[in-house]
Amino acid sequence: MRRAIESDVCIIGSGITAAMVADRLSRTTSAKIVVIEAGDETVPLAQRAAMRERFLRYGENPWGRDHLEGYEVEGPLQSRSMQVGGLAMHWGGVTPRFSPEDFKHRSMFGVGSDWPISYEELDPFYQEAEELMGVAGEQGPRDLDPRAKPFPMPALPLTYNLELLKAWASRAGIAMWSQPSAKNSVAYRGRAQCCRNDTCSPICPVGAKYSPDFTWSELRRANKIRLIPRTLVRKLVLGPGGTTISHAVAVDRDHPEQPVEFHAKTFVVAAGYTWSSHLLLLSAQSGAPNGVANASGLVGKYLTGHRNVQGFVELPLRLYPGMNEQHSLVTKQFMRPKSGATFIRHDLRVWESSTGRAPRLGDDSGALMLGDAILDDWRARVKTGAARVRAYYDVVPDRASELTLDATRKNEWGDPLPKLAFRDAPESVALRAPTEDSIRALFANMAKAGDGRLLRTSVDNFQDHPAGGCRMGNDAATSVVDSWGRAHDHENLFVVGAPTSVSGSCANATLTFCALSLRFAHEIEKGLPRRR
């Protein structure tokens, strides 16, 4: 027998952007909100210290069974994790904003695409996201790091190590500051102050790092939403005429024999860069032969992100690795290329490091050490310190940077799994070598300024903070959603967060995904009854 669940708003996915939308709509409207999550409930806060302990001791996944069986996909899936709260249950909590230049690459630098919105338009939604999750931050130089209002929390203090490294960067002519983070520098909204457990990613044992489960707990406790886990949405079905979504068809993983339909006035797809496009493509039907919201043929296209060049620098500094390993310095100094110069653009972060300074078994000649010899050798090698430096750089996505349906791999309900392939646009291919050379030269100069030595560099081929697949734009022929997240093809369908990004910037992108989602929520709420 078929089950039908009715609501005003049906949100598909329960990750961080879904939490932003649900929080906003439940504050401003009296709409009946249903949230559907394919994965299981997450691990309660009270159990996280014990789960973390097993992670530290044995490397075990601290999130229990946070995945669906049979979802081995081809291509670089960011994470296999699927649970209430999504990937932000184990994110690093790093929350820089994009810079104003990110939104106008084509008009400023002649590469990539402009976004249909500006930084200034997004600023209030950045602020709203920062206040909702609680971001601790230090104001950078205002011309590089503009914001209309202060951070909601004081910055995380720099460690003794980072203070030394900041002075080193300054000698190299680089102004750096405390990386903004969704970690509590003071107790915030009922959550504890950070006590630097060093395992922000994958698990914060005290709740000092924001994760979406806190929002879900609050909303569920107040009976403002209904969150249904273990239910996988398989298809969006068009209403008569094809201009609206009528309902979503899902499978209850506990009762797969009994299909579930979700009927709503508004549908919000908030399932991240992979599963959002995947669902739209799976929803091919009469009236939408290439998938829902896909008249442009661009669903799944223009997957974007950024690569990084990383280096390790030995410095004549006595550092104490382990004071707060995941916190870093950041600068936006290199995110504004000179006009007319080659488009080389990147961020820069600096961490304490223990590279080359770990205890070892064999000495320089390869002879085995035992007893005091190991400790003596270790002590001799920590007299100098090391820093990790890393720069994310922009990658302009190609149209063929895409998610497609993989006819050769299906889930247990017979739906094809996604296949992911990231590709640089030709202009980005041409920029790759000069960009990476420039970053390596910067690292070498930094080492020299500190009387140090660049030990090694590497390039991570994986594109971090992946996004795209439902890019936003004003032209229905060249984008999937408008600048408010509304599908060009269906008036009651919104896509929020990462998939709508036009480009991936050269900085961690989660805060931007959240700000976009809150902006879209402001549009979604217009059609809903206001809360009195």
**Amino acid letter, 526:** K
Q: What values do phi and psi take at 381, rounded to 5? A: -90, -5
Measured CA to CA, the distance from residue 209 to residue 207 in angstroms comes to: 5
Among 17, 29, 181, 197, binds another protein (CB under 8 A): 197
239 binds another protein (CB under 8 A): no
Q: Interaction with another protein in 432-491: which residues (CB under 8 A)?
A: 462
Residues 114 and 107: beta-carbon distance below 8 Å: yes
Measured CA to CA, the distance from residue 501 to residue 485 in angstroms comes to: 10
Report the residue number, 56 or 421, with the smaller CB distance to another protein: 56
- Least Å distance, CB 376 to another protein, is 8
**Amino acid letter, 307:** R
Binding pattern for the stretch 317-356 against another protein, x by CB under 8 A and - elsewhere: ---xxxxxx-------------------------------
Distances 483 to 244, 291, 405, 502 between C-alpha atoms, Å:
18, 21, 26, 11
Residues 79 and 91: beta-carbon distance below 8 Å: no
Among 12, 18, 33, 156, binds another protein (CB under 8 A): 156
Measured CA to CA, the distance from residue 119 to residue 147 in angstroms comes to: 10
Place of tokens 């790759």: 432
Instruction: Using CA atoms of 497, 502, 506, 511 in order, give the dihedral in degrees to the nearest 10.
Output: -20
Report the residue number, 318 or 526, with the smaller CB distance to another protein: 318
- Least Å distance, CB 4 to another protein, is 33
- Least Å distance, CB 81 to another protein, is 6
Among 6, 198, 427, 491, binds another protein (CB under 8 A): 198
- Least Å distance, CB 115 to another protein, is 26
Among 1, 2, 46, 72, binds another protein (CB under 8 A): 72
Residues 334 and 347: beta-carbon distance below 8 Å: yes
Among 6, 120, 121, 163, binds another protein (CB under 8 A): 163
Report the residue number, 27 or 80, with the smaller CB distance to another protein: 80
Q: What angle do CA 9, 71, 291 make, to 5 degrees?
A: 50
SS3 310: strand
124 binds another protein (CB under 8 A): no
Measured CA to CA, the distance from residue 61 to residue 456 in angstroms comes to: 30
Q: Interaction with another protein in 73-102: which residues (CB under 8 A)?
A: 73, 76-81
What would the two tokens of residue 15 be? 């990750």
Choose the stretch contacting another protein; rule: CB under 8 A; options: 239-247, 285-293, 377-385, 493-501.
377-385
Among 30, 146, 160, 249, binds another protein (CB under 8 A): 160
Q: Interaction with another protein in 13-32: which residues (CB under 8 A)?
A: none
- Least Å distance, CB 370 to another protein, is 5
Residues 334 and 354: beta-carbon distance below 8 Å: no
- The full DSSP string for 482-507 is -TTSBBSS-TTEEE-SGGG-S--TTS
Binding pattern for the stretch 29-68 against another protein, x by CB under 8 A and - elsewhere: -------------------------xxxxxxxxx--xxx-
Report the residue number, 341 or 368, with the smaller CB distance to another protein: 368
**Amino acid letter, 149:** K
379 binds another protein (CB under 8 A): yes
What would the two tokens of residue 329 be? 């310095």
Measured CA to CA, the distance from residue 402 to residue 76 in angstroms comes to: 11
Closest CA to 429 of 111, 56, 86: 111
Report the residue number, 379 or 530, with the smaller CB distance to another protein: 379
Site size for another protein (CB under 8 A): 60
410 binds another protein (CB under 8 A): no
Give the bridge partners for 172, in sequence order.
none
Measured CA to CA, the distance from residue 39 to residue 84 in angstroms comes to: 6
Report the residue number, 284 or 382, with the smaller CB distance to another protein: 382
- Least Å distance, CB 193 to another protein, is 6
374 binds another protein (CB under 8 A): yes
- Least Å distance, CB 16 to another protein, is 17
Report the residue number, 9 or 319, with the smaller CB distance to another protein: 319
Measured CA to CA, the distance from residue 79 to residue 87 in angstroms comes to: 7
Q: How far is CA 61 from the centre of its chain?
A: 20
- Least Å distance, CB 384 to another protein, is 13
- Least Å distance, CB 153 to another protein, is 12
Would you tell me which residues interact with another protein (CB under 8 A)?
54-62, 65-67, 71-73, 76-81, 156-160, 163, 185, 193-199, 202, 205-206, 320-325, 358-362, 366, 368, 370-372, 374-375, 378-379, 382, 462
